[in-house]
Structure 1
Amino acid sequence: MSHPLARLSVRHWSLAGLAFCVLMMSVALVLEHVVGLAPCPLCIFQRVAVLAAAAVFVVAALHNPTGRVGAGVYGVLGLAAVIGGIGVAWRHLWLQSLPPDEVPSCGPGLDYMMELLPWRDVLAMVLSGSGECAEIDFLLLGISLPGWTLIGFVVLAVAPLGLVLSAFRERR
Protein backbone atom coordinates (compact mmCIF):
# COMPACT_ATOMS: atom_id res chain seq x y z
CA MET A 1 0.00 0.00 0.00
CA SER A 2 1.43 3.38 -0.96
CA HIS A 3 1.48 6.59 1.02
CA PRO A 4 -1.35 9.06 0.19
CA LEU A 5 1.15 11.77 -0.80
CA ALA A 6 2.65 9.41 -3.38
CA ARG A 7 -0.68 9.37 -5.20
CA LEU A 8 -0.89 13.14 -5.66
CA SER A 9 -0.77 14.27 -9.29
CA VAL A 10 1.20 17.15 -10.76
CA ARG A 11 -2.01 19.17 -10.66
CA HIS A 12 -2.51 18.48 -6.95
CA TRP A 13 1.05 19.48 -6.02
CA SER A 14 0.83 22.55 -8.26
CA LEU A 15 -2.48 23.72 -6.83
CA ALA A 16 -1.15 23.26 -3.30
CA GLY A 17 1.94 25.33 -4.16
CA LEU A 18 -0.19 27.96 -5.87
CA ALA A 19 -2.50 28.20 -2.85
CA PHE A 20 0.50 28.78 -0.58
CA CYS A 21 1.85 31.44 -2.97
CA VAL A 22 -1.54 33.18 -2.84
CA LEU A 23 -1.41 33.05 0.95
CA MET A 24 2.11 34.51 1.04
CA MET A 25 1.19 37.33 -1.35
CA SER A 26 -2.04 38.03 0.52
CA VAL A 27 -0.14 38.46 3.79
CA ALA A 28 2.39 40.74 2.07
CA LEU A 29 -0.34 42.90 0.53
CA VAL A 30 -2.29 43.13 3.81
CA LEU A 31 0.87 44.20 5.63
CA GLU A 32 1.51 46.82 2.95
CA HIS A 33 -1.97 48.22 2.34
CA VAL A 34 -3.74 47.64 5.67
CA VAL A 35 -0.96 47.77 8.25
CA GLY A 36 1.02 50.37 6.28
CA LEU A 37 4.42 48.66 6.05
CA ALA A 38 6.19 49.80 2.89
CA PRO A 39 8.22 47.03 1.24
CA CYS A 40 11.95 47.58 0.85
CA PRO A 41 13.75 46.48 -2.36
CA LEU A 42 14.63 43.06 -0.90
CA CYS A 43 10.98 42.57 0.11
CA ILE A 44 9.96 43.30 -3.46
CA PHE A 45 12.47 40.74 -4.78
CA GLN A 46 11.03 38.17 -2.36
CA ARG A 47 7.58 38.92 -3.79
CA VAL A 48 8.98 38.40 -7.30
CA ALA A 49 10.24 34.96 -6.23
CA VAL A 50 6.77 34.08 -4.88
CA LEU A 51 5.16 35.24 -8.13
CA ALA A 52 7.69 33.29 -10.20
CA ALA A 53 6.89 30.12 -8.24
CA ALA A 54 3.16 30.84 -8.62
CA ALA A 55 3.58 31.20 -12.40
CA VAL A 56 5.30 27.81 -12.58
CA PHE A 57 2.53 26.24 -10.49
CA VAL A 58 -0.22 27.76 -12.65
CA VAL A 59 1.32 26.43 -15.86
CA ALA A 60 1.99 23.04 -14.28
CA ALA A 61 -1.59 22.78 -12.98
CA LEU A 62 -3.05 23.70 -16.37
CA HIS A 63 -0.72 21.37 -18.27
CA ASN A 64 -0.88 18.50 -15.74
CA PRO A 65 1.71 16.36 -17.53
CA THR A 66 1.48 12.63 -17.02
CA GLY A 67 5.06 11.87 -17.93
CA ARG A 68 8.10 11.98 -15.73
CA VAL A 69 9.83 14.72 -17.71
CA GLY A 70 7.02 17.26 -17.35
CA ALA A 71 6.69 16.80 -13.61
CA GLY A 72 10.45 16.98 -13.21
CA VAL A 73 10.79 20.15 -15.29
CA TYR A 74 8.02 21.94 -13.40
CA GLY A 75 9.46 20.75 -10.10
CA VAL A 76 12.94 22.01 -10.92
CA LEU A 77 11.63 25.37 -12.19
CA GLY A 78 9.47 25.81 -9.09
CA LEU A 79 12.36 24.82 -6.86
CA ALA A 80 14.62 27.35 -8.60
CA ALA A 81 12.14 30.14 -7.83
CA VAL A 82 11.81 29.01 -4.22
CA ILE A 83 15.59 28.72 -3.76
CA GLY A 84 15.97 32.24 -5.17
CA GLY A 85 13.43 33.46 -2.62
CA ILE A 86 15.24 31.64 0.18
CA GLY A 87 18.50 33.31 -0.88
CA VAL A 88 17.00 36.80 -0.90
CA ALA A 89 15.23 36.26 2.45
CA TRP A 90 18.46 34.90 3.94
CA ARG A 91 20.36 37.96 2.69
CA HIS A 92 17.68 40.22 4.15
CA LEU A 93 17.98 38.51 7.54
CA TRP A 94 21.76 38.87 7.39
CA LEU A 95 21.44 42.61 6.76
CA GLN A 96 19.09 42.89 9.72
CA SER A 97 21.62 41.10 11.94
CA LEU A 98 24.41 43.59 11.24
CA PRO A 99 25.44 46.04 13.95
CA PRO A 100 24.20 49.57 13.20
CA ASP A 101 27.69 50.83 12.28
CA GLU A 102 28.07 48.14 9.59
CA VAL A 103 24.70 48.66 7.88
CA PRO A 104 25.10 49.97 4.32
CA SER A 105 23.82 53.47 3.73
CA CYS A 106 20.43 53.97 2.11
CA GLY A 107 20.60 54.26 -1.64
CA PRO A 108 18.11 55.52 -4.20
CA GLY A 109 14.66 53.96 -4.38
CA LEU A 110 14.00 50.86 -6.48
CA ASP A 111 11.73 52.76 -8.91
CA TYR A 112 14.44 55.35 -9.52
CA MET A 113 17.12 52.69 -10.07
CA MET A 114 14.88 50.74 -12.49
CA GLU A 115 14.39 53.86 -14.60
CA LEU A 116 18.07 54.75 -14.88
CA LEU A 117 20.15 51.60 -14.58
CA PRO A 118 20.39 48.28 -16.42
CA TRP A 119 18.66 45.46 -14.54
CA ARG A 120 21.98 43.74 -13.69
CA ASP A 121 23.18 46.87 -11.90
CA VAL A 122 19.86 47.20 -10.09
CA LEU A 123 20.06 43.56 -8.99
CA ALA A 124 23.63 44.00 -7.73
CA MET A 125 22.73 47.18 -5.82
CA VAL A 126 19.61 45.68 -4.24
CA LEU A 127 21.37 42.50 -3.16
CA SER A 128 24.22 44.50 -1.65
CA GLY A 129 21.53 45.93 0.62
CA SER A 130 20.72 49.31 1.99
CA GLY A 131 19.86 50.85 5.31
CA GLU A 132 16.13 50.54 4.74
CA CYS A 133 16.45 46.77 4.27
CA ALA A 134 18.24 46.46 7.61
CA GLU A 135 15.40 48.10 9.57
CA ILE A 136 13.15 45.79 11.55
CA ASP A 137 9.67 47.29 11.34
CA PHE A 138 7.61 44.33 12.50
CA LEU A 139 8.10 41.32 14.76
CA LEU A 140 5.77 38.40 15.29
CA LEU A 141 6.77 35.92 18.00
CA GLY A 142 10.23 37.52 17.96
CA ILE A 143 10.76 36.83 14.24
CA SER A 144 11.07 39.62 11.66
CA LEU A 145 9.21 39.61 8.35
CA PRO A 146 12.17 38.26 6.34
CA GLY A 147 12.39 35.44 8.88
CA TRP A 148 8.74 34.58 8.35
CA THR A 149 9.22 34.84 4.61
CA LEU A 150 12.16 32.45 4.83
CA ILE A 151 9.98 30.02 6.78
CA GLY A 152 7.28 30.47 4.14
CA PHE A 153 9.71 29.65 1.33
CA VAL A 154 10.90 26.53 3.16
CA VAL A 155 7.29 25.37 3.52
CA LEU A 156 6.61 26.32 -0.12
CA ALA A 157 9.56 24.13 -1.19
CA VAL A 158 7.42 21.08 -0.34
CA ALA A 159 5.32 21.58 -3.50
CA PRO A 160 8.12 21.60 -6.08
CA LEU A 161 9.87 18.80 -4.18
CA GLY A 162 6.60 16.86 -4.43
CA LEU A 163 6.64 17.48 -8.18
CA VAL A 164 10.23 16.26 -8.47
CA LEU A 165 9.48 13.19 -6.37
CA SER A 166 6.37 12.45 -8.42
CA ALA A 167 8.59 12.44 -11.50
CA PHE A 168 10.58 9.57 -9.97
CA ARG A 169 7.70 7.42 -8.78
CA GLU A 170 6.61 4.44 -10.81
CA ARG A 171 3.75 4.97 -13.26
CA ARG A 172 1.30 2.09 -13.50
Structure 2
Amino acid sequence: MRLAGVDLTVRRVFALVALACVGMLAFGMYLQHVVGLNPCPMCIVQRYALIGVAVIALVGSRLSRPTGQAVFAVLMALKAGFGAFTAARQSWIQWYPPEVVSCGRDFYGMVENFPLQRAIPMIFKGSGDCTKVDWTFLGGSIANWSFVAFTAFTLTGVVLAWVAWRSR
Protein backbone atom coordinates (compact mmCIF):
# COMPACT_ATOMS: atom_id res chain seq x y z
CA MET A 1 0.00 0.00 0.00
CA ARG A 2 1.44 3.41 -0.99
CA LEU A 3 0.38 6.75 0.47
CA ALA A 4 2.04 10.01 -0.60
CA GLY A 5 5.01 8.11 -2.01
CA VAL A 6 5.61 6.16 1.22
CA ASP A 7 5.45 2.39 1.23
CA LEU A 8 3.10 1.50 4.08
CA THR A 9 2.91 -2.11 5.12
CA VAL A 10 0.01 -3.39 7.17
CA ARG A 11 2.32 -3.65 10.17
CA ARG A 12 3.43 -0.02 9.82
CA VAL A 13 -0.14 1.22 9.57
CA PHE A 14 -1.05 -0.73 12.70
CA ALA A 15 1.93 0.88 14.46
CA LEU A 16 0.87 4.36 13.28
CA VAL A 17 -2.66 3.79 14.60
CA ALA A 18 -1.25 2.67 17.97
CA LEU A 19 0.99 5.75 18.05
CA ALA A 20 -1.95 8.03 17.22
CA CYS A 21 -4.00 6.45 20.03
CA VAL A 22 -1.18 6.97 22.52
CA GLY A 23 -0.92 10.60 21.41
CA MET A 24 -4.66 11.11 21.86
CA LEU A 25 -4.56 9.49 25.30
CA ALA A 26 -1.63 11.73 26.28
CA PHE A 27 -3.56 14.78 25.12
CA GLY A 28 -6.56 13.64 27.16
CA MET A 29 -4.33 13.33 30.23
CA TYR A 30 -2.99 16.82 29.52
CA LEU A 31 -6.52 18.23 29.34
CA GLN A 32 -7.45 16.45 32.55
CA HIS A 33 -4.38 17.04 34.71
CA VAL A 34 -2.94 20.31 33.37
CA VAL A 35 -5.96 22.18 32.02
CA GLY A 36 -8.29 20.80 34.71
CA LEU A 37 -11.09 19.30 32.60
CA ASN A 38 -12.74 16.37 34.35
CA PRO A 39 -13.92 13.58 32.02
CA CYS A 40 -17.59 12.66 32.01
CA PRO A 41 -18.77 9.00 31.96
CA MET A 42 -18.97 8.94 28.16
CA CYS A 43 -15.48 10.44 27.91
CA ILE A 44 -14.17 7.62 30.08
CA VAL A 45 -15.87 5.01 27.90
CA GLN A 46 -14.24 6.62 24.86
CA ARG A 47 -10.90 6.57 26.66
CA TYR A 48 -11.26 2.82 27.28
CA ALA A 49 -12.22 2.28 23.64
CA LEU A 50 -9.11 4.22 22.61
CA ILE A 51 -6.95 2.04 24.87
CA GLY A 52 -8.56 -1.02 23.27
CA VAL A 53 -7.83 0.24 19.75
CA ALA A 54 -4.22 0.99 20.77
CA VAL A 55 -3.68 -2.49 22.24
CA ILE A 56 -5.26 -4.24 19.25
CA ALA A 57 -3.21 -2.12 16.83
CA LEU A 58 -0.03 -2.77 18.79
CA VAL A 59 -0.61 -6.53 18.69
CA GLY A 60 -1.50 -6.27 14.99
CA SER A 61 1.76 -4.46 14.29
CA ARG A 62 3.67 -7.46 15.63
CA LEU A 63 1.88 -10.06 13.49
CA SER A 64 3.46 -11.23 10.26
CA ARG A 65 0.79 -13.57 8.88
CA PRO A 66 -1.87 -11.88 6.74
CA THR A 67 -4.71 -13.92 8.24
CA GLY A 68 -3.85 -12.78 11.77
CA GLN A 69 -3.45 -9.22 10.55
CA ALA A 70 -6.88 -9.37 8.91
CA VAL A 71 -8.47 -10.67 12.12
CA PHE A 72 -6.87 -7.94 14.23
CA ALA A 73 -7.83 -5.30 11.67
CA VAL A 74 -11.46 -6.38 11.96
CA LEU A 75 -11.20 -6.34 15.77
CA MET A 76 -9.71 -2.84 15.58
CA ALA A 77 -12.51 -1.67 13.30
CA LEU A 78 -15.14 -3.07 15.68
CA LYS A 79 -13.56 -1.48 18.78
CA ALA A 80 -13.12 1.84 16.97
CA GLY A 81 -16.73 1.61 15.75
CA PHE A 82 -17.86 1.28 19.37
CA GLY A 83 -15.80 4.37 20.24
CA ALA A 84 -17.32 6.25 17.30
CA PHE A 85 -20.82 5.31 18.46
CA THR A 86 -20.10 6.60 21.97
CA ALA A 87 -18.57 9.83 20.64
CA ALA A 88 -21.51 10.34 18.27
CA ARG A 89 -23.97 9.86 21.14
CA GLN A 90 -22.10 12.39 23.26
CA SER A 91 -21.99 14.86 20.37
CA TRP A 92 -25.73 14.40 19.94
CA ILE A 93 -26.50 15.19 23.58
CA GLN A 94 -24.16 18.19 23.40
CA TRP A 95 -26.03 19.56 20.38
CA TYR A 96 -29.47 18.66 21.76
CA PRO A 97 -29.18 18.71 25.56
CA PRO A 98 -31.98 17.03 27.52
CA GLU A 99 -34.69 19.16 29.09
CA VAL A 100 -33.64 18.26 32.61
CA VAL A 101 -29.91 18.39 33.13
CA SER A 102 -28.74 16.48 36.15
CA CYS A 103 -25.18 15.90 37.22
CA GLY A 104 -25.00 12.16 37.61
CA ARG A 105 -22.43 10.01 39.30
CA ASP A 106 -19.05 9.47 37.79
CA PHE A 107 -18.32 6.31 35.81
CA TYR A 108 -16.71 4.42 38.70
CA GLY A 109 -19.51 5.36 41.08
CA MET A 110 -22.08 3.97 38.67
CA VAL A 111 -20.25 0.68 38.15
CA GLU A 112 -19.55 0.21 41.86
CA ASN A 113 -23.08 1.02 43.08
CA PHE A 114 -25.31 -0.45 40.37
CA PRO A 115 -25.50 -3.81 38.65
CA LEU A 116 -23.98 -3.76 35.17
CA GLN A 117 -27.38 -4.02 33.44
CA ARG A 118 -28.38 -0.72 35.10
CA ALA A 119 -24.98 1.01 34.92
CA ILE A 120 -24.49 0.62 31.15
CA PRO A 121 -27.73 2.44 30.19
CA MET A 122 -26.92 5.16 32.75
CA ILE A 123 -23.51 5.71 31.12
CA PHE A 124 -25.01 6.11 27.64
CA LYS A 125 -27.85 8.23 28.91
CA GLY A 126 -25.28 10.80 29.88
CA SER A 127 -25.28 13.30 32.68
CA GLY A 128 -25.07 17.04 32.96
CA ASP A 129 -21.32 16.79 32.56
CA CYS A 130 -21.62 15.00 29.20
CA THR A 131 -23.62 17.88 27.71
CA LYS A 132 -21.07 20.52 28.71
CA VAL A 133 -18.56 21.69 26.09
CA ASP A 134 -15.45 22.87 27.90
CA TRP A 135 -12.96 22.81 25.05
CA THR A 136 -13.22 23.35 21.30
CA PHE A 137 -10.85 23.25 18.37
CA LEU A 138 -11.93 24.60 14.96
CA GLY A 139 -15.51 24.66 16.20
CA GLY A 140 -15.59 21.02 17.30
CA SER A 141 -15.82 19.69 20.83
CA ILE A 142 -13.69 16.86 22.20
CA ALA A 143 -16.53 14.45 21.42
CA ASN A 144 -16.75 15.70 17.82
CA TRP A 145 -13.02 15.22 17.26
CA SER A 146 -13.16 11.86 19.01
CA PHE A 147 -15.84 10.79 16.55
CA VAL A 148 -13.65 11.87 13.62
CA ALA A 149 -10.65 9.95 14.98
CA PHE A 150 -12.64 6.80 15.77
CA THR A 151 -14.24 6.89 12.33
CA ALA A 152 -10.78 7.18 10.74
CA PHE A 153 -9.58 4.21 12.84
CA THR A 154 -12.66 2.21 11.82
CA LEU A 155 -12.09 2.88 8.12
CA THR A 156 -8.38 2.14 8.53
CA GLY A 157 -9.24 -1.19 10.13
CA VAL A 158 -11.58 -2.09 7.27
CA VAL A 159 -8.94 -1.18 4.65
CA LEU A 160 -6.23 -3.07 6.55
CA ALA A 161 -8.45 -6.15 6.78
CA TRP A 162 -9.11 -5.99 3.04
CA VAL A 163 -5.41 -5.52 2.17
CA ALA A 164 -4.25 -8.26 4.56
CA TRP A 165 -6.94 -10.69 3.37
CA ARG A 166 -6.00 -10.13 -0.29
CA SER A 167 -2.32 -10.72 0.40
CA ARG A 168 -2.76 -14.13 2.03
TM-score, normalization: structure 1?
0.86
| Aligned CA-pair RMSD | 2.0
Residue matched to 1:154 = 151
On the 8 A contact 1:9/1:166 being kept in 2, the answer is no
Q: Does 1:89 align with 2:103?
A: no
Aligned AA (1:125): M
Quick one: distance in 2 between partners of 1:20 and 1:139? 19
Aligned AA (2:25): M
Quick one: distance in 1 between partners of 2:33 and 2:42? 18
On the 8 A contact 2:56/2:75 being kept in 1, the answer is yes
Residue matched to 2:27 = 27
Residue matched to 2:134 = 137
Q: 1:20 to 1:127 in 2, by over 3 A?
A: same
Aligned AA (1:86): A
Unmatched tracts of structure 2, length 5 or more: none
1:4-153 superposed matches below 5 A = 4=2, 8-62=8-62, 64-67=63-66, 69-99=67-97, 102-153=99-150
Quick one: distance in 1 between partners of 2:116 and 2:122? 10
Quick one: distance in 1 between partners of 2:139 and 2:100? 21
Percent of counterpart pairs with the same letter?
34
Aligned residues: 166
Q: How far apart are 1:131 and its partner, in Å?
A: 1.3
Aligned AA (2:52): A
Quick one: distance in 2 between partners of 1:20 and 1:59? 15
Q: How far apart are 1:7 and its partner, in Å?
A: 5.9
Quick one: distance in 1 between partners of 2:16 and 2:107? 32
Aligned AA (1:76): V
Quick one: distance in 2 between partners of 1:142 and 1:7? 34
Unmatched tracts of structure 1, length 5 or more: none
On the 8 A contact 1:13/1:162 being kept in 2, the answer is no
On the 8 A contact 1:103/1:134 being kept in 2, the answer is no
Quick one: distance in 1 between partners of 2:18 and 2:24? 10
Q: How far apart are 1:104 and its partner, in Å?
A: 4.4
Q: 1:7 to 1:158 in 2, by over 3 A?
A: farther
Q: Secondary structure at the match of 1:107?
A: coil
On the 8 A contact 2:10/2:69 being kept in 1, the answer is yes
Aligned AA (1:52): G
On the 8 A contact 2:57/2:76 being kept in 1, the answer is yes
Q: Secondary structure at the match of 2:35?
A: coil
Deviations 1:32-68 (A, max 9, x none): 1111110000000010110010111121122x1323x
Q: How far apart are 1:128 and its partner, in Å?
A: 1.1
Aligned AA (2:64): P
